A = this chain, B = another copy of it.
Amino acid sequence: MKDQFVTGVDLGGTKIYTAVADLKGRILAEIKAPTEAGKGIDFVLNKVVATVRQVSKNAGLPEIPAYLGIGAPGPLDPQSGFVYQAPNLGWRDIPLKMLLEQALQVNVTVGNDANLAALGEFCFGDYKGTSNLIYITVSTGIGCGLILDGELYQGADYSAGEIGHFTLEPDGLVCSCGNRGCLETIASGTAIARFAKELAQQGKGTGIVKAAGGLIEGITAEAVSRAAASGDQEALGILDKTGRALGLGFSYIVNLLNPSLILLGGGAMKAGPPLWQAINDELKRRVIKSNIKNLKVFPATLGDRSGLFGAIACALQANRV
């Protein structure tokens, strides 16, 4: 019985998303809970454990499934299940796999969140089975997962997909990684808000400030998107600039890897047509013909559940069930 189901957990900086699914990846029940990372590591781990137990109960299962897959942010080792660093959670060197296996007495598989989102789309999305598929999330930062020739590609040190640190402006702003002009500093949700605040501080961007409820400190990427949607030229300009930077960054991926599909997720991608148009225009400008001609660039098809489905797929794959 318990080996007829799996648990998937998408552990993020703001929410814990937990589901129980059958061996075909059909979800029986799911729970979304705030992470409250500030309350400490034990608090978060106990909350994960509690959601795992609760979601099985909600699904009417007599016991929790024997297999659990969990996606976590930041560099980690999927073999040992060790999370090296997760700034969004305030974690350093946490043996996540071991701790959860002790607490739950089930088989735990750990994966990087962007990698698992790619795997989720590959296994359960509208374009499942697409052999060369890139998943990219643009949100606070920028993450990327790679499906190459039908397999999740993680790199020699499980650190592939660090496209947020592509240098776009060699003499640009200092990034958290120590380099200058990283894509993340120019084109993330954080960067969109920063550009808009800078405008506002110069007495410009009144449409954006209005969309943010009248307060400069209240400006977010969402406020910029709302202003753009109502035709505000300054907001549109920020999204155009952001989209061009993303398109240039993605062009390195497409020239190098010749994928057939890029799926884009994350909060910042909800900004709509002006952002998407700029991305596509820049890709067309920067990618050689043989690599652009069959390329599709679409929104992630599993919405905010790409990572959750990936955690389920990861548990299924690791246990060959």
Contact = CB atoms under 8 A, between A and B. Distances in A.
A160 interface: yes
A144 B258 contact: no
B258 A165 contact: no
A247 to B, nearest CB: 10
B258 A288 contact: no
Interface-centre pick from A148, A151, A166 (highest chain B CB count, 10 A): A148
Contacts of A177: 288-289
Q: Is the interface of A mostly helix, strand, loop or mixed?
A: loop
Given A167-B248, A285-B179, A157 B290 contact: yes
B160 A251 contact: no
Nearest to A130: B156
Interface in A121-135: 131-132
Given A166-B255, A252-B166, A255-B162, A157 B288 contact: no
Contacts of A162: 255-256, 258, 288, 290-291
Contact of A257 (B160, B251, B290): B160
A267 to B, nearest CB: 23
A151 B149 CA distance: 9
A255 B144 CA distance: 11
Interface string A150-169: 01011111111111011100
Given A162-B291, A256-B144, A156 B131 contact: yes
Contacts of A289: 177-178
Contacts of A288: 159, 162, 165, 177, 179
Interface string A71-94: 000010000000010000000000
Q: Determine the interface band of chain A, counting residues with CB < 8 A from chain B.
A: 35 or more
Contacts of A166: 251-252, 255-256
Contact of A159 (B84, B252, B258): B258
A294 B157 contact: yes
Nearest to A254: B162
A24 to B, nearest CB: 27
Interface-centre pick from A132, A256, A288 (highest chain B CB count, 10 A): A256
A260 interface: yes
A255 B163 contact: yes
20 contacts: A75-B290, A84-B290, A132-B155, A132-B156, A148-B148, A148-B153, A149-B151, A149-B153, A156-B259, A157-B291, A157-B294, A158-B258, A159-B291, A160-B257, A162-B290, A163-B255, A165-B286, A166-B252, A166-B256, A256-B257
Instruction: Please list the 4 inter-chain residue pairs (A to B) with the smallest Cβ-Cβ separation, ordered nearest first.
Output: A155-B258, A156-B260, A252-B252, A159-B290
Interface of A: 75, 84, 131-132, 144, 146, 148-149, 151, 153-163, 165-167, 170, 177-179, 248, 251-253, 255-260, 285-291, 293-294
